[in-house]
């Protein structure tokens, strides 16, 4: 037995479980709206025979409407409303199933995304690193952000205090991870993680020799303005600026060297670890 393809969606789309939930809720809302129109039409039918519907230009005089006529109309309205009530019960079942789907589709998740492409910091003259920005595309996460940490992998620079490093989320929030911090000693092949819950900000100067470590986002001084396409100031100071937002989309890391002489690389690119929570 064959069955027609309904709906005919061209071009083909693909949606995640999470994306279907608002569509299902919208479909329930549209059906409720249709039922409201039907009930309104029944009410207007009653108004019409009673002569109280004044926008039609047509009214019955009371003598034309018998008690039998009124009872017939009443019966008709009653039958229609009975069908509406049946449909409302089905919609309630549908709504309860969607609520179950929300519970099943969303569990707190922690995931790490990496762009391994090296970021070259040609800091002999002031200017942006390459690439600028370095993107990470995040997809497939349910819920909203509960926590974000960012890691710069295998980073070297002969004067880390030259750096202004800005992270911009897919919804436009941003945080300055490290700016004018770290001082003058070389860092070689270190991995820096930024976490609001770290014990300390980036020390100035970073002690030498330096080992990989986790720091709070650290912005020394004021007045940084990164060149476009980075957003302009003001810049966020904590990673919790992303909390409660949708994690999916393109995250961008803007690395800028704000002083001549001294260069570096972030040879292993960078990573984001995102923890989400159910709405």
Which residues bind to Ca ion, rule: CB under 5 A?
123, 162, 164, 179-180, 219, 221, 224, 257-259, 262
The β-bridge relationship of strands 174-179 and 218-219 is parallel
Q: In terms of CB distance, is 4 or 221 closer to Ca ion?
A: 221
Q: Tell me, what DSSP letter sits at residue 207?
A: P
Closest-CB residue for Ca ion? 123
Q: In terms of CB distance, is 101 or 184 closer to Ca ion?
A: 184
Residue 90 Cβ vs Ca ion, minimum distance, rounded to whole Å = 60
Residue pair 181/202 in contact by the 8 Å Cβ criterion: yes
Residue 198 Cβ vs Ca ion, minimum distance, rounded to whole Å = 18
Phi, psi for residue 256 in degrees, rounded to 5:
-130, 135
Count how many Cα atoms sit within 13 Å of the Cα of residue 64 in the half-sphere of its side chain.
Answer: 8
Residue 221 Cβ vs Ca ion, minimum distance, rounded to whole Å = 4
Residue pair 162/123 in contact by the 8 Å Cβ criterion: yes
Residue pair 272/150 in contact by the 8 Å Cβ criterion: yes
Q: In terms of CB distance, is 121 or 145 closer to Ca ion?
A: 121
DSSP annotation string for 135-172: EEEE-S--SEEEEEEEEEEEEEES-GGGEEEEEE-TTS
> How far is 219 from 202, CA to CA, in rounded Å?
9
Residue 178 Cβ vs Ca ion, minimum distance, rounded to whole Å = 9
Residue 271 Cβ vs Ca ion, minimum distance, rounded to whole Å = 23
Q: In terms of CB distance, is 22 or 233 closer to Ca ion?
A: 233
> How far is 267 from 191, CA to CA, in rounded Å?
10
Q: In terms of CB distance, is 103 or 234 closer to Ca ion?
A: 234
Residue 261 Cβ vs Ca ion, minimum distance, rounded to whole Å = 6
> How far is 116 from 110, CA to CA, in rounded Å?
19
Q: What angle do CA 68, 71, 76 make, to 5 degrees?
A: 130
Residue 231 Cβ vs Ca ion, minimum distance, rounded to whole Å = 15
> How far is 239 from 173, CA to CA, in rounded Å?
9
């Amino acid at each position: 037995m064959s069955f027609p393809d309904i709906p005919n969606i061209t071009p083909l789309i693909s949606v995640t479980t999470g994306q279907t939930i608002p569509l299902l809720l919208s479909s329930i809302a549209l059906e409720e709206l249709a039922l409201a129109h039907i009930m309104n039409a029944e009410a207007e039918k009653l108004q019409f025979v009673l002569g109280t519907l004044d926008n039609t230009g047509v009214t019955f005089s009371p003598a034309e409407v018998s008690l039998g006529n009124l009872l017939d109309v009443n019966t008709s309205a009653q039958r229609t409303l009975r069908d509406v009530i049946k449909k409302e019960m089905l919609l309630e079942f549908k709504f309860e199933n969607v609520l179950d789907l929300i519970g099943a589709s969303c569990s707190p998740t922690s995931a790490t995304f990496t762009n391994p492409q090296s970021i070259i910091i040609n800091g002999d003259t002031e200017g942006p690193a390459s690439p600028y920005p370095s993107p990470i595309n995040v997809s497939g996460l349910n819920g909203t952000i509960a926590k974000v940490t960012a890691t710069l992998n295998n980073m070297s620079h002969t004067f880390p205090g030259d750096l202004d490093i800005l992270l911009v989320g897919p919804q436009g929030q941003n945080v300055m991870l490290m700016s004018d911090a770290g001082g003058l000693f070389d860092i070689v092949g270190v991995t820096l993680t930024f976490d609001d819950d770290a014990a300390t900000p980036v020390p100035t100067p970073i002690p030498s020799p330096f080992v990989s470590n986790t720091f709070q986002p650290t912005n020394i001084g004021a007045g940084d303005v990164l060149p476009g396409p980075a957003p302009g100031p003001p810049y966020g100071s904590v990673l919790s600026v992303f909390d409660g937002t949708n994690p999916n989309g393109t995250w961008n890391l803007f690395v800028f060297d704000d002083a001549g002489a001294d260069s570096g690389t972030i040879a292993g690119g960078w990573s984001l670890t995102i923890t989400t929570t159910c709405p």
